[in-house]
């Protein structure tokens, strides 16, 4: 069997298997906990949620 | 050390005319300042390439309805000018703007200053040398003749080294991050910088250094060319949209879980799309079919992203009036949805039978690369530049000219050429219509295209003037503005100072 | 919590999938595709191009002809490629095994050129068309290529044999003639060599045409 066929067949089996295994590993070691807190990452104490930025056109510019 | 402590220390040291706001901004300002030199280099050189690319675009556009225009100059023949236009705007402008935005975003989201920014600046210089040699090579007739990969082989290794350096630096910044949580923009950025050198390297080796046989070249070509948009520009554009919409309106993204679905479905399906450029071509049917299936699957990430962004914006559309960033970004986000839906449609065999090989495809490419990606880059630059230079945009009028010029220009372009292209395809598929009559049919629409190109050129010049003015101010002595745009909306009035 | 490694693996696996599927698989299926020898006539198809025509392909590439002209014929019933006379059969992978680079093209601002060598074999038509397309195809948007020709004074022995027969507005100044340069000659050899009409098992010609 040509080498390239082996690579192809191997990767068809290995890629999804590796994907599933790494997902299981990440989930078991708690890496996916409190996942959606990341939505707050663009904000910090300097520019918290609720503060608009870049309001420079129109009435706001004096 | 938290920023509050930093502020207090600074307040003790520095006397005089600084408000609490200045001190509260100390940490963000430090991150912004660390990116200043490399990001400015990427933006300035990108913008210069954009102006060059606009000029080449206009020449190419005029030539397509007035073929005698500048016909005696070999280096300016249509096939070369058009190619130079593509390469200057794609590799000169879009890629450099993308890298500038990616670096700044990565530092901000990782909450760390850029380490050794000098390396990134060197990567930029390398990159520009590579693009200059590549463009010069195309003008001299050394184009490889492979779409999206025309730069000759003596230029591309320089670009590859530069891309690799940028990828390594992005990953280093990521590894050094001070914030353990990951925002969706960081996924897109990390993916883009890892995917692109792989794509570029594969394409260079299999098409230019050691070309594969026959139509395998076409397969590799379109696997690459579609993924340049799908896996390099799109992720960086989406990263910017995911950051700037929440940032400008001050509200977190509507659903973080939807953004997860959007990212992984894009990663799974987009990279299988390329062969839909070869529908009807001399390829085995399975290749084309698998790409058509994957193209239709793109409905999942596209609609996910569209719903998520729209739901975030609801109730905040009024802010479009005040924020140039939001205007450009929302324009880009809407165009992304439209471009993707048009892309799904164009991939179908029945639609492709008509629209393939026509100006409809050209319009589609500009809807993706310009109305989506370039607009998002403009919006990002409007946000980033004042923050890294510490200066405000000098002219609001120029911002408006930029926005309306390019917005009207690109809408006109896409609407007119999409429609005309479809009709062109219908005429071509009717063998009773003479081919020359199809050509003559398109000419008025190509003239409108030139007019829309002029509108966009006006916008670009306005942006260039405003940008240059900002840089002049940067090097001039600093005078503290009465009202700082760098602060948020609600503190826009001077408080007690 | 951080899931950096998971993200990293996911990013690599997703692109690896299409790299295997759309790069390695086509290479495996078509990367060693060879010529076909007809069992009855012993004709070998496709033949490699001659030197002049191969040089011409380089000019075709450098001048960017591919951006307005495709070299692919779609199957009968899908578009009007065959009805327009651009080919007698669809093109298939084997037609392109000698091409470096393969210039399939994605745009038909001008007509398809897969079989231009069959459709138009007249040298003088090609020269005039390249010198200024308005001579042969008035209203075309194809650019003229005057730099592929030399305009020179007619020598003492009279006009050159390969001078273009130009009339009216296209004629050069009195006492001058327009002759094709080496590049123009090579480019026309290339155009005349463009024929994808071999009878292949995967793309047979119709019986009456194949003879």
What integer pLDDT is reported at residue A59 of this predicted model?
A: 57
CA distance to partner chain A, nearest, from residue B492 (Å): 7
B494, B422 contact by CB (below 8 A)? no
Neighbouring subunits of C (3+ Cβ pairs under 8 A) = A, B
ipTM over the 0.85 cut-off: yes
Nearest to C102 by CA among B206, B84, B216, B275: B216
Q: Which helix (H) or strand (E) holds C122?
A: none
Chain B residues closer than 8 Å to C27 by CB:
206, 212, 216
Give which of C3, C12, C20, C23 to mutate to test B binding, by max B Cβ within 10 Å.
Answer: C23
Tokens (6 digits) for C107: 């745009």
Residue with tokens 């669809």: C90
Residue B325: list chain A partners with CB under 8 A. Answer: 54
Q: What is the pLDDT of residue B58?
A: 98
* pLDDT of the residue at B190: 96
Chain B: give the shortest CA distance to residue A60, in Å: 7
Residue C90 zone, left/alpha/beta (φ > 0; ψ -120 to 50; rest): beta
Q: Which of residues 3-62 of A touch C (CB under 8 A)?
A: 4-5, 7-8, 11-12, 15, 18-19, 22-23, 25-26, 30-34
Determine which helix (DSSP H) or strand (DSSP E) holds C180, and give its type and residue range.
Answer: strand C176-180
How confident is the model at residue B480, as a pLDDT?
57
For residues B245 and A53, the answer to whether their CB atoms sit within 8 Å is: no
Has this prediction a pTM greater than 0.95? no
Cα gap C143→B74, rounded to integer Å: 11
Where do we find the tokens 């003790």? B12
Residue B210 neighbours by CB under 8 Å, 6+ apart: none
CB atoms within 10 A of CB B210: 8
Verify whether the Cβ–Cβ distance C9 to A19 is below 8 Å. Answer: yes
Ranges of chain B whose pLDDT falls below 70: 1-25, 478-497
* Chain C residues in contact with B277 (beta carbon < 8 A): 106
Compute the C-alpha angle B364/B367/B372, nearest 5°.
145
Mutate to test the interface with C, among B81, B215, B273, B301 (most CBs of C within 10 A): B215
Contacts of B326 in chain A (CB under 8 A): 54
Q: Tokens 């030399």 sit at which residue?
A: C150
> Given a cut of 80, is residue C206 above it in pLDDT?
no
Structure tokens at B270: 């987009």
- Contact between A26 and C16 using a beta-carbon 8 Å cutoff: no
Question: What would the two tokens of residue A60 be?
Answer: 């706001």
Q: For chain A, say whether C10 makes contact (Cβ under 8 Å).
A: yes
Tokens representing B126?
A: 């390398």
User: Cβ atoms within 10 A of the Cβ of B443, count?
Assistant: 14
Residues 249 to 308 of B: which have CB under 8 A from any A CB? 249-253, 256-257, 260
Tell me how far CA of residue C59 lies from CA of B155, B165, B227, C182, in angstroms: 20, 35, 29, 11
Which residue of chain C has the CA closest to B187? Answer: C7
Output the pLDDT for position B493: 36
Interchain proximity B383–A54, CB inside 8 Å: yes
Q: Which of C11, C17, C64 is the closest to B190 by Cβ?
A: C11
Q: How far is B111 from chain A (nearest CA, A)?
A: 10
Point out which residues pair with C153 in neighbouring strands: C176
- The list of chain A residues with pLDDT below 70 reads 1, 33, 59-62
- Asked whether the beta carbons of residue A49 and residue B250 sit closer than 8 angstroms, the reply is yes
Q: Do C26 and B274 touch (CB under 8 A)?
A: no
pLDDT-derived band at C4, boundaries 50, 70, 90? confident
- Conformational region of residue C158, where left means phi above 0, alpha means psi within -120 to 50, and beta covers everything else: left
CB pairs under 8 A between B and C: 226
Residue B492: what pLDDT?
37
How many helices, marked H, and strands, marked E, lie in chain A? 1, 0
Shortest CA distance to A54 belongs to which of B387, B478, B308? B387
At B227 the pLDDT is 96
What tens digit of pLDDT does each residue of C119-153 get? 999 999 999 999 999 999 999 999 999 999 999 99
CA B204 to chain centre: 22
C152: which strand partners?
C177
C-alpha to C-alpha distances, B444 to B58, B405, B408, B438, C133, nearest whole angstrom = 16, 21, 18, 12, 20
- pLDDT number for residue B78: 97
Please give the helix or strand (H or E) that residue B238 lies within, else none.
Answer: helix B234-249
Alpha-carbon distance C136 to C124, whole Å? 10
- Chain centroid offset of residue C73 CA: 12
Per-residue tokens: B276: 């839909």
**Mean pLDDT within C93-105:** 95
Residues of B in contact with A4 (CB under 8 A): none
Q: Do the Cβ atoms of C194 and C70 come closer than 8 Å?
A: no
Residue A46: what pLDDT?
A: 82
Burial class of residue B10 (count of CB atoms within 10 Å of its CB; 0-12, 13-18, 19+): middle
Nearest residue, CB atoms, B322 vs list A36, A40, A58: A58
Contacts of B468 (CB under 8 A, 6+ apart): none
> Residue B239: which H helix or E strand, with range?
helix B234-249
- Cβ–Cβ below 8 Å for A53 and B25: no
Interchain CB distance below 8 Å, B291 and C22: yes
Cβ-Cβ contacts under 8 Å, C63 against chain B? 77, 79-80, 141
C-beta of residue C123 within 8 angstroms of C-beta of residue C116: no
Cα–Cα dist B424/B332, whole Å: 28
Instruction: Quickly tell me which residue has 């990663």 as its tokens.
Output: B267
User: Do A41 and B492 make contact, defined as CB atoms within 8 angstroms?
Assistant: no
Could you tell me how many CB contacts below 8 A there are between chain A and chain B?
115
3-class state of residue C176 by DSSP: strand
Environment class of residue B147 by beta-carbon count within 10 Å: exposed (0-12), middle (13-18) or buried (19+)? Answer: buried
Whole-angstrom Cα distance, residue B158 to residue B166?
Answer: 13
Pairing of strands C176-180, C36-37: unpaired
The pair of structure tokens assigned to B275 is 């062969």
Q: In chain A, whose CA is at the least distance from the CA of B105?
A: A42
Identity of the residue in B181, B247, B485 whose CB atom sits nearest the CB atom of A37: B181
B181 backbone dihedrals φ, ψ, rounded to 5°: -65, 150
What was the pLDDT predicted at B1?
37
N- to C-terminal Cα distance for chain B? Answer: 28
Distances (CA, A) of C191 to B361, C37, C119: 26, 25, 10
Q: How far apart are CA C121 and CA B237, in angstroms?
A: 50
CB contacts, 8 Å: A10 with chain C: none
Which is it for the CA torsion A37, A38, A42, A45, positive or negative?
positive
Residue A34 exposed, middle or buried by CB count within 10 Å (0-12, 13-18, 19+): exposed
User: Can you tell me the distance from the alpha carbon of B373 to that of B332, in angstroms, rounded to the nearest whole number?
Assistant: 6
CA B45, B46, B48 angle in degrees (round to 5)? 65
Reported confidence tier of residue C5, pLDDT bands at 50, 70, 90: confident
CB contact under 8 A, A44 and B28: yes
Distance CA B134, CA B131 (A): 5
- Taking the alpha carbons at both ends of chain A, their separation in whole angstroms is 76
A43 Cα to chain C: minimum distance (Å): 18
CA closest to A21 among chain C residues: C6
- And the tokens for B338? 């439209």
Q: How far apart are CA B270 and CA B496, in angstroms?
A: 54
If you count them, how many residues does chain A have? 62
pLDDT the model gives residue C52: 94
Q: What is the distance in angstroms between the CA of the first residue and the CA of the last residue of chain C?
A: 73
Which tokens is B251 given? 């509200």
Locate B155 and state its tokens.
Answer: 């230029």
Distance CA C197, CA C193 (A): 11
Tokens of B297: 């699957």
Tell me the two tokens of residue B88.
């200057």
Domain C37-200, CATH number (from 3.30.70.250, 1.10.1200.10, 1.10.760.10, 3.40.50.920): 1.10.760.10
Q: Positive or negative, the Cα torsion across B66, B69, B73, B76?
A: negative
A vs C: CB pairs below 8 A: 42
Alpha carbon distance C165, C132 (integer Å): 12
Q: Which residue has the tokens 């829309």?
A: B452
The values of phi and psi at residue C45, to 5°, are -140, 140
Measured CA to CA, the distance from residue B217 to residue B149 in angstroms comes to: 12
What are the boundaries of each domain within chain C? Answer: 37-200
Check C20 against A7: CB less than 8 A apart. yes
Residues 376-405 of B with CB under 8 A from A: 382-383, 392-393, 396, 399-400
Chain A residues whose beta carbon lies within 8 Å of the beta carbon of residue B322: 54-60
| Dist CA B164 CA B382 (whole Å) | 27
What is the model's pLDDT at position B476?
81
> What would the CATH number be for the domain defined by B25-476?
1.20.210.10
A-chain CB neighbours of B321 within 8 Å are 57-58
Contacts of A23 in chain C (CB under 8 A): 6
B483 Cα distance to chain centroid:
31
Nearest to C101 by CA among B229, B224, B364: B224
């Amino acid at each position: 069997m040509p080498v390239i066929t082996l690579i192809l067949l191997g990767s068809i089996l290995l890629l999804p298997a590796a994907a599933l295994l790494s997902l299981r590993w990440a989930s078991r070691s708690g890496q996916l906990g409190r996942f959606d807190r990341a939505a707050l990452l663009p904000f910090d104490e300097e520019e918290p949620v609720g503060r608009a930025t870049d309001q420079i056109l129109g009435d706001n510019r004096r | 050390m938290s920023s509050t402590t930093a502020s207090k220390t600074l307040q003790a040291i520095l006397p005089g005319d600084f408000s609490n706001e200045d001190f509260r901004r100390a940490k963000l300002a430090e991150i912004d300042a660390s990116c200043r030199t490399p990001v400015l280099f990427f933006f300035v050189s990108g913008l210069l390439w954009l102006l060059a690319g606009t000029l080449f675009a206009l020449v190419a556009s005029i030539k397509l309805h007035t073929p005698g225009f500048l016909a005696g100059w070999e280096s300016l023949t249509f096939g070369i000018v058009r190619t130079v236009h593509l390469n200057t705007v794609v590799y000169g402008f879009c890629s450099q703007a993308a890298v500038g935005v990616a670096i700044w975003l990565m530092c901000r989201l990782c909450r760390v200053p850029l380490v050794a920014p000098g390396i990134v600046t060197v990567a930029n210089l390398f990159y520009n040398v590579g693009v200059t040699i590549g463009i010069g090579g195309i003008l001299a007739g050394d184009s490889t003749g492979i779409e999206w990969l025309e730069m000759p082989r003596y230029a591309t290794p320089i670009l590859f080294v530069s891309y690799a350096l940028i990828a390594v630096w992005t990953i280093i910044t990521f590894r050094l991050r001070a914030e353990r949580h990951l925002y969706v923009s960081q996924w897109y950025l990390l993916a883009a910088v890892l995917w692109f050198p792989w794509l570029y390297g594969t394409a260079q080796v299999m098409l230019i250094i050691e070309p594969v046989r026959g139509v395998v070249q076409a397969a590799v070509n379109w696997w690459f060319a579609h993924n340049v948009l799908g896996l390099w520009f799109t992720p960086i554009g989406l990263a910017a949209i995911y950051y700037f919409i929440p940032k400008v309106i001050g509200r977190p993204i509507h659903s973080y879980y939807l953004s997860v679905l959007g990212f992984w479905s894009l990663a799974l399906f987009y990279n299988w799309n390329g062969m839909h450029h070869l529908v009807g071509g001399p390829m085995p049917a399975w290749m084309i079919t698998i790409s058509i299936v994957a193209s239709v699957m793109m409905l999942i990430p596209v609609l996910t992203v569209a719903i998520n962004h729209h739901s975030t914006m609801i109730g905040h559309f009024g802010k479009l009036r005040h924020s140039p960033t939001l205007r450009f970004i929302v324009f880009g986000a809407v165009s992304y949805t439209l471009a993707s839906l048009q892309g799904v449609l164009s991939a179908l065999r029945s639609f492709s039978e008509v629209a393939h090989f026509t100006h409809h495809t050209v319009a589609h490419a500009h809807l993706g690369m310009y109305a989506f990606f370039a607009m998002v880059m403009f919006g990002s630059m409007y946000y980033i530049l004042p923050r890294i230079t510490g200066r405000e945009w000098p002219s609001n009028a120029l911002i408006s000219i930029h926005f309306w010029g390019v917005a009207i220009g690109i809408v006109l372009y896409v609407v007119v050429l999409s429609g005309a292209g479809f009709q062109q395809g219908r005429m071509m598929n009717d063998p009773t219509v003479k081919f020359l009559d199809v050509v003559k049919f398109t000419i008025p629409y190509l003239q409108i295209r030139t007019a829309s190109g002029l509108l966009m050129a006006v916008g670009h010049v306005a942006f260039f003037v405003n940008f240059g003015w900002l840089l002049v101010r940067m090097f001039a002595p600093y005078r503290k503005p009465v009202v700082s745009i760098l602060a948020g909306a609600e503190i826009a009035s001077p408080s007690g100072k | 919590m951080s899931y950096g490694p998971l993200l990293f693996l996911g990013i690599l696996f997703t692109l690896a999938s299409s790299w295997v599927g759309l790069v390695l698989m086509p290479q495996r299926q078509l990367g060693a595709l060879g010529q076909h020898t007809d069992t009855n006539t012993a004709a070998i198809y496709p033949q490699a191009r001659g030197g002049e025509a191969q040089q011409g392909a380089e000019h075709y590439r450098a001048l960017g002809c591919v951006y307005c002209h495709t070299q692919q014929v779609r199957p009968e019933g899908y578009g009007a490629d065959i009805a327009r006379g651009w080919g007698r059969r669809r093109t298939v992978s084997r037609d392109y095994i000698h091409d470096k680079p393969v210039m399939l093209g994605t745009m038909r601002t001008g007509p398809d050129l897969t079989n231009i060598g069959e459709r138009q074999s007249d040298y003088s038509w090609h020269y005039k068309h390249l010198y200024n397309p308005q001579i042969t195809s008035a209203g075309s948007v194809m650019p003229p290529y005057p730099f592929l020709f030399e305009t020179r004074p007619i020598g003492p022995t009279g006009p050159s044999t390969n001078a273009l027969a130009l009339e009216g507005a296209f004629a050069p100044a009195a006492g001058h003639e327009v002759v094709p340069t080496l590049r123009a000659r090579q480019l026309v050899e290339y155009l005349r060599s463009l024929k994808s009409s071999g009878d292949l098992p995967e793309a047979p010609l119709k019986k009456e045409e194949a003879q």
